[in-house]
Amino acid sequence: MPIPLSPEGDSPLGIIIMAPRHLTTQQYLNKEDAGYGSGYLSQFFTFEEMCESQYAIRNGIYNYPSDDQHIVNMENLTRVLLDPIRVMANSPIYISSGYRQPIVNKNVGGGDTSLHLFGMAADIKSYEFSVRELFQLILAIKYLRFHEIVFEYGSWIHVGLRGWKDGEHIKIIVRDKRVKKNLPIVKETFTRLQYDAGIVDDRLNELGYFAE
Helices marked H in the chain: 25-29, 47-51, 54-58, 68-76, 83-89, 102-107, 131-139, 192-196, 199-207
CA atoms within 13 A on the CB side of 100: 26
Question: What CA–CA distance (Å, rounded) separates 167 from 165?
Answer: 6
Pairing of strands 169-175, 156-160: unpaired
- Contact assessment for residue 123 and residue 135, using Cβ atoms and an 8 Å cutoff: no
Which one, of 134, 194, 203, lies nearest residue 170 by Cα? 194
The strand order across the sheet containing 121-125 reads 94-97, 121-125, 156-160, 148-152, 169-175, 186-191
pLDDT at 179: 42
Is the pTM above the cut of 0.85? Answer: no
pLDDT at 37: 86
- Which neighbouring-strand residues pair with 158? 123, 150
pLDDT at 207: 74
pLDDT at 183: 60
At 186, give phi and psi (nearest 5°). Answer: -100, 130
Q: Is 119 left (phi over 0), alpha (psi -120 to 50) or beta?
A: left
Segment-wise mean pLDDT, segments of 10 residues, the chain, 212 residues: 37 52 88 88 94 94 93 91 92 96 95 94 95 88 82 88 65 66 68 76 75 59
pLDDT at 86: 94
